[in-house]
Structure 1
């Protein structure tokens, strides 16, 4: 059951700085200055967060980690200030779990990713701050609710509060800091542990890309986020990264890939002033007989026609022929 939000947890701000004897906040909604002292009614939550950060910092021994307070995930950076204990800088994670069917992703893609027999690599792509982590984590939780089993979520640092039981399934969340081996180390361990599927917070480096591709060819289902401006760029980036470890990266990607989801938040003007953000998404699903042509383009690393495949797949869905 979700805990009731306190005044700090329910406020909008950019960063919270907590020292041994002060708490300052930047970007507080409605504040008269960019930096103000934390409001007095935040005192109880500030004390709780300071204690959480101290304990986590002592436990991990690393300067970057996450803590959870009242069901909200905070990304924390520890600064070695001259004052006793240094300073903890906290930023709220915007990732929130949602029903994948209501996010705005095309139905044919959602159905493919929630198929009980689904295996392979699922790339969730887009720019910064468009909800890629929300999408990936939401699919993980929904699959656990539908089918049970064990999932492993590997993030750096943790941005989602998905650790624990969901329906008949369980998710084990790991903070894969570069100080404790990073994504590769924990992905390899997870593959040896018998978990049913994975969530990789973000593919950023060559090793992680290569290990994710290999895992996808071994009958595992892997959700992973990747920064890319469109579906074709996402494929190009995966091939480039994995090529540092394999001369057959394109071929392996064609065998491993189940789907690519691209998403964006477009700012649209509102009547009377201001803007609102509108979710848009496109998908390429590589399951079924009609996926052969797309797989061949990826295998040959000839990606010029992929955008057309995305459009044709969407058109078939609209006309009921998917």
Structure 2
């Protein structure tokens, strides 16, 4: 039998898989609720994977995969769903990973974003960061925030992405979506150009280098609400990562800029839900006068204790939220322990409640 891409994509939609992996030497494999499940059928050959890749990749991406070893792009499967596609070369053959991008936006309440964070989305300026490891749902949270603004505020939103994942329609806002490598050469260049395009809100898909981070902070300081992502797992580490990106002679200046421009950090991980599915574990930090002083004075190690006492402002630590998910029966004790930032403390708390942390 030979595999057809349309049939595989239909299977992804039917099963509710988050990803489809196509690699030589194994049947097509779905990621279902965090676990890898192979399709019944023969192993893929190099000819199979190349044919499947060419069935969805434009000539320019096929060429990039051949000459540069990989290519990333967005792909729409009819009007049913969009996928983020990564083509890669491995051992001389082609492989693909397709991540499904849901058509529907989530309500912020469904994700677990507190009301206080929703209030921040009306701010005229500042930097809001959504952080977490790859595959933790950052893009979904950001898209939902942008959709909320689009429904509630009037203005001009510019998104800068690589590739464009969620497509937004004009609602109360005018939306301009630009793809790096297609519409504009780099993230930092896109932010600089955006400043001349009368934006109210700018989404920076990835703050991956010093130039982009600098441009994003500058945009937030000069009267724009800027959203960005980083691959960090807590508010304190997010601040450290940004500061560490700069040379020694600029660190103090960046701390001062961050202290005045950073509005909030939402860190997240995806947890396996009891009974199937996924649920986000969250940490929320809202910048207060006290936290701004900690950033300025290079005392980020004390941010966590401010988050713990900031419940009235909608703040909570990752471990507090994981504990809440466990108490509500949404995740297992083992999952809470594995995703915890202070695993030893979490183990004690769980075991005191009769939770089984060890793998059975």
TM range (shorter): 0.7 to 0.9
In structure 1, what is the equivalent of residue 28 of structure 2? Answer: 26
SS of aligned partner of 1:167: coil
Q: Distance in 2 between matches of 1:88 and 1:58?
A: 12
In structure 1, what is the equivalent of residue 76 of structure 2? Answer: 68
Q: Where do 1:167-186 residues align within 5 Å?
A: 167-177=171-181, 181-186=185-190
Q: Distance in 1 between matches of 2:296 and 2:42?
A: 51
Q: Where do 1:278-317 residues align within 5 Å?
A: 278-286=279-287, 291-314=288-311, 317=314
**Larger RCO, structures 1/2 (Cα 8 Å, 6+ apart):** 1
Contact 1:210 1:245 in 2 (8 A): no
SS of aligned partner of 1:246: helix
Shift of 1:50: 5.1
Q: TM-score w.r.t. structure 2 length?
A: 0.67
Change (3 A) 1:135 1:108: same
2:269 is equivalent to residue 264 of structure 1? yes
Q: TM-score w.r.t. structure 1 length?
A: 0.74
In structure 2, what is the equivalent of residue 105 of structure 1? Answer: 113
Q: Where do 1:42-61 residues align within 5 Å?
A: 53-54=57-58, 57=61
Contact 2:233 2:268 in 1 (8 A): no
Q: Give the number of aligned pairs.
A: 285
Cα deviations by residue, 1:46-77 (Å, 9 ceiling, x for unpaired): 99x95763266499999433232334133243
Shift of 1:150: 1.9
Change (3 A) 1:25 1:196: farther
In structure 1, what is the equivalent of residue 128 of structure 2? Answer: 122
Q: Distance in 1 between matches of 2:11 and 2:125?
A: 40
Cα deviations by residue, 1:174-214 (Å, 9 ceiling, x for unpaired): 22149963211111111121122111112111111111111
Q: Distance in 2 between matches of 1:7 and 1:170?
A: 37
2:233 is equivalent to residue 229 of structure 1? yes
Cα deviations by residue, 1:9-52 (Å, 9 ceiling, x for unpaired): 332252358xxxxxx97315552358448xxxxxxxx99x9576
Change (3 A) 1:170 1:53: farther
Gaps of 5+ in 2: 1-5, 13-18, 31-36, 46-50, 316-360
Cα deviations by residue, 1:140-172 (Å, 9 ceiling, x for unpaired): 1210121132211111223x2224x23232322
Deviates more, 1:241-250 or 1:217-226: 241-250
Cα deviations by residue, 1:111-152 (Å, 9 ceiling, x for unpaired): 222x2x342100101122110111111111210121132211
Deviates more, 1:94-103 or 1:54-63: 54-63
Shift of 1:100: 1.7
Change (3 A) 1:187 1:50: same
Shift of 1:278: 3.3
Q: Distance in 2 between matches of 1:264 and 1:223?
A: 18
Of the candidates 194, 197, 200, which is equivalent to residue 201 of structure 2?
A: 197
Q: Distance in 1 between matches of 2:97 and 2:267?
A: 29
Contact 1:65 1:175 in 2 (8 A): no
2:94 is equivalent to residue 92 of structure 1? no
Cα deviations by residue, 1:67-123 (Å, 9 ceiling, x for unpaired): 3233413324376xx9xxx9784513446621223211222122222x2x3421001
Contact 1:132 1:263 in 2 (8 A): yes
2:8 is equivalent to residue 11 of structure 1? no
Contact 1:210 1:241 in 2 (8 A): no
Contact 1:99 1:138 in 2 (8 A): yes
Gaps of 5+ in 1: 1-5, 18-23, 38-45
Please report the RMSD computed on the Cα atoms of aligned residues, expressed in angstroms: 3.6
Q: Distance in 2 between matches of 1:101 and 1:296?
A: 30
